[in-house]
Amino acid sequence: MSMAGLLFGMAIVNGHGQTAGSLANGLSAGAVSRGGAMAAESGDVLDAVEGNPAGMAGLRQRTVDVTGVGVFAWGSFRNSVDPDGKMSGVAGALPYGAVGIPLGQKLKQTRWSAALAVTPDELMRTNWQYLDPPGTAGASYGLTKNQSQIIGIRTSAALAWTMGSKWTAGVTTGLVVNSNTLKVPYIFQQQPQLAGLKVLLDLNTRGVGWNGSLGAQWRPSDRLNIGAAWKSMTYVQSFGTADGTASAQFAALGIAANPAFHYRAEVDNQLPQTAALGAAWQVGRRSERRVRWSFEGDWTDWGGAFRTLPVKLTEGTNATINSVAGGNSIVDGVPLHWRDQWIVRTGVELPLRRGWMARGGYSYMSNPVPSTTLTPLTAAILRNRVAAGAGWGGERWHWDAAYEAQLPSSQAVGHSALLAGEYDNSRMQLMAQSVTVSARLTF
């Protein structure tokens, strides 16, 4: 497994528009159930902070929004020595929330709104188990667990304002605290002396990064709202340790030496910039009974962000590895060559009696991962998502729940561009489900 496994959590689960996965279809249960459309929506502080900050302009009351999500994933993997590799279990679960405040003494007439939020930018845990295929000189670590955990929590502040009767705008800035854990057989890719050799790696790093977003909405009539949003690239420089063993590779090469090693590690993660354009259209004569349709298109700059993943290891303790590498430091890079991604979303909200609301949604995401660099831990191949949900609103409380199914998707690898040929003629399939529950209190 290459170090690109660190990217799987980012590629599968991330904030709105930034990735191809579970949280990419919205943060609140309302957004999830309408296919993730948020660019033209208003009234939900969580979705505004993550999707389009202009959506919280005109806030008339203080609000507290709290949401919890659970993601359940399943996958299969077939390689040259194992036709039945598996991934299963809970992929991630996390609560998050936001506080929205109208600014000014006369709250019901204010043109300014502010918010503070703590939300997931990345959230994923994978646990694959399959036979490690023979690599250089036949080195294999047998039946191994390929584990990856990526957590990125964004603490953000947002400001929005109303400009006349038709226009609103907003901005956010956020601090992303990131942690990465990876336990896999790792194949060096670009370090000249070690390229193609394999070790069993246990890597843990932590770091911080910044990002920001801005957005605007235009309301030409009481039935139509149009919104656009942009989110900046996020660069996270994370530091930690890398421990492990080269036992199988040493044995395959006939090296009788201590195979254990320890390094200080640096992994530089770069999440792409994104853009979204959407519209919300209400149909019906009575305003309280209008059906609301949402449409949105998103773009994610994976092609600019995921070309190569740089990995830096320093202060190595294994004398044999140091002698081969020419020192106690290793600079490696994993080729990715991802493509830009396009996302189409559509959703509908149906008002029911006594404050109830029913929702449904669908989204399609193009596949950003080329087969030549695909591995089980970079399999961001889920394309089609369907969702349904319901909500209820009272005078002070509003509740929403959503269920989303990320329909099964598969992809095969013919000849892999990764060294040692371990992923040649392999195939993987994935699916995921999520349950999201949201609550809002106004006061």
Does 406 score more than 70 pLDDT? yes
Compute the average pLDDT of residues 40-69: 92
Percent of the chain with pLDDT strictly greater than 90 = 68
Does 365 score more than 60 pLDDT? yes
Torsion sign (Cα): 118, 147, 368, 280: negative
Does 5 score more than 50 pLDDT? no
pLDDT value of residue 90 = 63
Residue environment code for 107-128, b if the CB has 16+ CB neighbours within 10 A, otherwise e: eeebeebbbebebbbbbbbbbb
pLDDT value of residue 91 = 61
pLDDT value of residue 380 = 83
pLDDT value of residue 17 = 33
Cβ neighbours of residue 354 closer than 8 Å, sequence gap 6 or more: none
pLDDT value of residue 15 = 37
The Cα 226–Cα 47 span in angstroms is: 15
Compute the average pLDDT of residues 38-58: 92
Does 12 score more than 70 pLDDT? no
pLDDT one-digit tens code per residue, 60-80: 889 999 999 888 888 999 999
Does 432 score more than 80 pLDDT? yes
Does 16 score more than 70 pLDDT? no
Compute the average pLDDT of residues 191-210: 94
C-beta separation of 422 from 139 below 8 A = no
pLDDT value of residue 116 = 97
pLDDT value of residue 126 = 79
Top mean-pLDDT range of 178-192, 219-233, 323-337, 366-380:
219-233
pLDDT value of residue 364 = 96
Question: 284 versus 132: which is more confidently predicted?
Answer: 132
Chain centroid, CA 169 distance in Å: 25
Tokens, residue 401: 């729940």
Percent of the chain with pLDDT strictly greater than 70 = 91
Q: What are the distances in angstroms from CA 78 to CA 87, 224, 381, 411, 429?
A: 12, 49, 16, 11, 9
pLDDT one-digit tens code per residue, 308-355: 878 899 999 999 999 999 999 999 988 889 999 999 999 999 999 889
The Cα 427–Cα 405 span in angstroms is: 22
Does 205 score more than 60 pLDDT? yes
Does 429 score more than 70 pLDDT? yes
Instruction: Say which residue the tokens 């528009």 belong to.
Output: 17
Q: Read out DSSP for 229-260?
A: EEE--EEEEEEEEEEEE-HHHHHHHT--S--E
What is the 3-class SS of 341-386, one letter each residue? EEEEEEEEEEECCCCEEEEEEEEEECCCCCHHHCCHHHCCCCCEEE
Task: Dump strand ranges (E) for 164-271.
Answer: 167-187, 198-221, 224-231, 234-245, 260-271
Write down the domain spans for the chain: 3-442
CATH topology for 3-442 is Porin (2.40.160)
pLDDT value of residue 22 = 35
pLDDT band at 8 (very low <50, low <70, confident <90, very high): very low
pLDDT value of residue 26 = 82
Does 2 score more than 50 pLDDT? no
pLDDT one-digit tens code per residue, 214-238: 999 999 999 999 999 999 999 888 9
pLDDT one-digit tens code per residue, 22-43: 345 788 999 999 999 999 999 8
Compute the average pLDDT of residues 248-277: 93
Mean of all residue pLDDT scores within the chain: 88
